Amino acid sequence: MTKSPYHQIKPLQHPVQAECWNFTSGEIFTLPAGTMIELEHGYDATHTSCMVTGDAGDHPGMLLPCNDGNVRRGYRFIIENQALGLATKLDIPKRTYDMVGEIIQLETTGLPIRRTRKLLKALKGNRLQGSYGRLATQLGV
């Protein structure tokens, strides 16, 4: 069995295009080769959530010039799975668990219990709070 690529810290071997998750602008940035990233989890069916990681294992983010002329600090990035696999030399699945799609469906039309449990287990590493935390407790997740 191959080791999961998630929760590993790797340098980018070459530049990669990424959307900064903590910005609402949807701007695409180029993360330069050598940037250390921690692969967090599948974001949707074809993207992975990653954090810029410092030498001490912390998450200092990086300064990014934005289209509005401001410079902002970006921490979490969404990177296309195939590009991420090539840039990190890790075996990233081309298709991943669609966490975002499942959250949207849970909040709009609901999910069957089995899929709700799977989603809550996937989210649990992010310290569930509020209604998700209560739901996880109710379902014994």
Tell me how far apart the alpha carbons of residues 90 and 84 are, in angstroms, rounded to a whole number.
Answer: 8
Say how far residue 130 (Cα) sits from the centre of its chain.
Answer: 21
82 and 28, same structural domain? yes
H or E element that contains 84: helix 81-88
Question: 73 pLDDT exceeds 60?
Answer: yes
The pLDDT confidence band at residue 126, using thresholds 50, 70 and 90, is low
Q: pLDDT of 94-117, one tens digit each?
A: 877 777 788 888 888 888 889 888
Angle at alpha carbon of residue 61, lines to 77 and 102, rounded to 5°: 30
Residue 57 included in any domain? yes
Residue 46 included in any domain? yes
23 and 79, same structural domain? yes
69 and 124, same structural domain? no
Identify the pLDDT of residue 2. 59
Report the number of distinct structural domains present in the chain. Answer: 2
Can you read off the two tokens belonging to residue 12?
């980018």
The pLDDT confidence band at residue 1, using thresholds 50, 70 and 90, is very low
SS3 state at 79? strand
Q: Do 5 and 92 contact (CB within 8 A), yes or no? A: yes
Top mean-pLDDT range of 63-67, 123-127, 131-135: 63-67
Question: 25 pLDDT exceeds 80?
Answer: no
> Terminal CA-to-CA distance of the chain, rounded, Å?
26
58 and 23, same structural domain? yes
Residue 20 included in any domain? yes
63 and 33, same structural domain? yes
117 and 77, same structural domain? no
Residue 93 included in any domain? no
66 and 20, same structural domain? yes
106 and 133, same structural domain? yes
Residue 62 included in any domain? yes
Domain of 131?
A: 99-138
Identify the pLDDT of residue 90. 92
Residue 4 included in any domain? no
Phi-psi region of 111 (alpha: psi -120 to 50; beta: other; left: phi over 0): beta
Residue 48 included in any domain? yes
Which residue, of 48, 67, 88, is where some domain finishes? 88
